[in-house]
Amino acid sequence: MTSLREKMIKEMTLRRLSANTQRSYLEAVTGLARYHNQSPEKINSQMIKDYLFYLLQERKLQWGSCNVIVCGLRFFYTKILGVDPESLNIPPQKKVRKLPEVLSTEEIGCLLGAASNQKHRTLLMSTYAAGLRVSEVVNLKLTDIDSKRMMIRVRQGKGNKDRYTILPKRLLKELRIYWKRYRPSLWLFSGRKPEQPMPKSTAAAIYYNAKDKAGIKKGRGIHTLRHCFATHLLEAGVDLRTIQVLMGHSSIMTTVVYLKVTRKQISATQSPLDLLNIPENKKFPKQ
């Protein structure tokens, strides 16, 4: 391990950056160094721009992916090398905000019904029923299921924050059936090795497989189930503040986005077309 890499790891650890963030930042610096075949401390701002241009134009990465790389590079050069942020001169990019795709309750039922076995069904049901991120559901432990208080404890979610979310009766029943059949010991959903949690990629593959079997075309990934949880709660009349707490959002403005996709809010709005008094159809002359 180089001294710069070791220094960067120490600095990220002291700032309590998550393991995923640390990994992404290190990969960002490594990718830049490999592209120019130089030590990162010898790379200037123009070379950084050339690398970003390569990622966008040749590798066709979305800006969301490039933005993570930019954050990693900015951290390295400003916090580790002490470079003035202004001198980096990395042009800011307008973030494209897309509304989440939401499945109907009927589609959720079809998706869960299409799961290939009890473990897969329970994993998908847990993700939807509790509004979990994929990293949160695969890291659930048996001790996180509190059946007496009907709550699920989410340990070190996004931003290294703990929170509690709901444990529906239907999910608890499914979890008991699952436990009797699979007898997990530590992790609720273990990988091939019982002492390790299921990889996130495996959970994502389970979702895509069930979605394909159910013939559902919507939904970009397993995170769709978390979007559905929030939207369906909102449509059921649950207030935004409660949904914010259950989702673990730092700002309620993040939760407000679900107002833009809720069927209850949009369908209840009357179009001005319905207010018009339009004569009945008549035969129009041929063009």
Asked if residues 240 and 255 have their Cβ atoms less than 8 Å apart, the reply is yes
Instruction: List the structure tokens of 258.
Output: 């679900």
Q: Is 35 a catalytic residue?
A: no
Contact (CB, 8 A) for 230 and 241: no
Question: CA 110 to CA 16: how far, in whole Å?
Answer: 41
Closest CA to 122 of 138, 133, 107: 138
Task: Tally DSSP H helices, then E strands, for the chain.
Answer: 14, 3
What distance, in Å, lies between the first and last C-alpha atoms of the chain? Answer: 77
Q: Active site residue: 133, 163, 211, 227, which one? A: 133
The token pair that represents 230 in the structure block? 């929030």
Is 170 labeled as catalytic in the residue annotation? no
10 is catalytic: no
Report the amino acid identity of residue 12: M
Look up 158 and say whether it is catalytic: yes
Give me the catalytic one of 121, 211, 226, 232: 226
Among 210, 202, 204, 262, CA closest to 235? 262
Do the beta carbons of residue 209 and residue 117 sit within 8 Å? Answer: no
| Whole-number Å distance between alpha carbons of 223 and 56 | 25
Residue 258 appears among annotated catalytic residues: yes
Select which of 74, 158, 200, 213 is catalytic: 158
Tell me whether residue 163 is one of the annotated catalytic residues.
no
Give all strands (DSSP E) within 100-159, no chain letters.
Answer: 145-146, 151-157
Alpha helices (H) along 132-262? 134-138, 169-182, 200-214, 223-235, 240-247, 252-256
Q: Which two tokens stand for residue 121?
A: 């069904």
At residue 131, what is the residue type? Answer: G
Which residues participate in catalysis according to the annotation? 133, 158, 223, 226, 249, 258
